[in-house]
Copies of this chain bind each other. A is one copy, B any other.
Amino acid sequence: MKQSFDYYMPAKVCFRAGASKDAARFIKGSNVLIISDPFLLKTGVAEAIGNSMTGKNVAYFGEIEPNPSCESVDKAAAAAREMKTDCIIGLGGGSALDVAKIVACLADNEGSIYDYYAGGTRTLSDRKASLICIPTTAGTGSEVTNVGVYTNKKAGIKMPMVNDLFWADVAIIDPELTYTLPAAITASTGMDAFCHAIEAYWNKNSQPICDMMAMTALKNIMEHIKTAYEEPDNKEARGAMLAASLFAGIAFSQTRTTGIHALSFPLTTEFGASHGIACSVTLPAFIRISTQGEKEKMESLASYLGYESVQSLADGVEELMVSMKMPVRLHEIGVKESDLAHITEVGMGAPIIQLTPAIMNEETVHGLLKSIL
């Protein structure tokens, strides 16, 4: 066992079917801004939660796009300041939650996100507004991390921002919100959670608490993702998947991610792949090379998940992805051989790539990408 580690995850977790309709009990003050995406606004999911808060003054900001831009953050922050918000609720996938995290800070910190991020020199000081994160996918795990990922459209770069003010006060995890997720989203967000868990497990920063969380998450996903994909209202499968996403989130909140996420950034910003697709497309290849640095640990994981070897685990994951109609080759998301050098360069620019348990340099990364072209 690793004899040196840190652990800190101060968010209160409330996991319960229907819990999102009981969020008001966590809110002091009366002005609440729910930050969500156009779909959750249009379908009444956000409103149902807002309406459950008797006596609160609830406003909605629904202009969150996938891979949210700094411009959307600044618009949401203006809405929060205008209503003098006491509480920000992020409701949605990772995008809405990530925006909610920084908007809860910007509500009482002047200026634009650009002042604090991507070269900005100001530092966010104390957050006064409380922050509640309610995920609607299983998923992001963003409800239990202190990371937000924003896209700097000026520079065309998607970059994470880490801040202890980004820990939610409360993570409300309500499986009911996932019963209507379309199959393709169930698959891509579920495999994103798989990446979080396995990247925490093989991470150079891995530690025993994260290992427990990651292993449980991976087992839940292997056992339940296909059922959740095929039977959207299967309560047991949906609960297990959302719990997996939570555990994976706690795991990678301590370790950060690795090469899979590093390479996903250019695949998303430049090829338009959704985050889950951009991550999982390289997952089997990374499983195959993970034995370079973590042979024993990965063999023990493969065995725990019911596979004879790490290579057969990688094959199993690839087959699972194919069975859910997910791309397993880069050309399926529009990547050409001539793009590989650039993807390699951008991926190598993300420091987390060096947390991968394998040699990561221009040659090896280019080779990995070419092997799954």
- Which B residues touch A13, using CB under 8 A? 5-8
- Which B residues touch A92, using CB under 8 A? none
Tell whether, in the assembled complex, residue A247 and residue B209 are in contact, meaning their CB atoms are under 8 Å apart: yes
Tell whether, in the assembled complex, residue A6 and residue B15 are in contact, meaning their CB atoms are under 8 Å apart: yes
Measured CB to CB, the closest approach of chain B to A369, in angstroms, equals 35
| A235 and B16 contact, Cβ closer than 8 Å, known pairs A208-B243, A213-B212 | no
What 1/0 flags go to A46-86 for Cβ under 8 Å of B? 00000000000000000000000000000000000000000
- Which B residues touch A1, using CB under 8 A? 220, 236, 239-240, 243
Which residues in chain A, 8-37, are within 8 Å of chain B measured between CB atoms? Answer: 8-10, 12-17
| A208 and B212 contact, Cβ closer than 8 Å, known pairs A175-B3, A235-B3 | no
Complex alpha-carbon distance, A212 and B213, angstroms: 8
Q: Does A4 contact B (CB under 8 A)?
A: yes
Q: Does A216 contact B (CB under 8 A)?
A: yes
| A8 and B15 contact, Cβ closer than 8 Å, known pairs A3-B175, A175-B3 | no
Complex alpha-carbon distance, A8 and B9, angstroms: 8
Tell whether, in the assembled complex, residue A3 and residue B216 are in contact, meaning their CB atoms are under 8 Å apart: no
- Which B residues touch A209, using CB under 8 A? 213, 247
Complex alpha-carbon distance, A216 and B16, angstroms: 25
Complex alpha-carbon distance, A247 and B1, angstroms: 13
What 1/0 flags go to A336-361 for Cβ under 8 Å of B? 00000000000000000000000000
Complex alpha-carbon distance, A13 and B8, angstroms: 6
Complex alpha-carbon distance, A277 and B65, angstroms: 59
What 1/0 flags go to A216-248 for Cβ under 8 Å of B? 100010000000000000011001100100010
- Which B residues touch A4, using CB under 8 A? 15-17
Task: Name which of A3, A4, A5 has the most chain B CB atoms within 10 A of its CB.
Answer: A3
Residues of A at the B interface (CB closer than 8 Å) are: 1, 3-10, 12-17, 175, 208-209, 212-213, 216, 220, 235-236, 239-240, 243, 247
Which 3 pairs across A and B sit closest by C-beta, in order of nearness? A10-B10, A7-B13, A212-B212
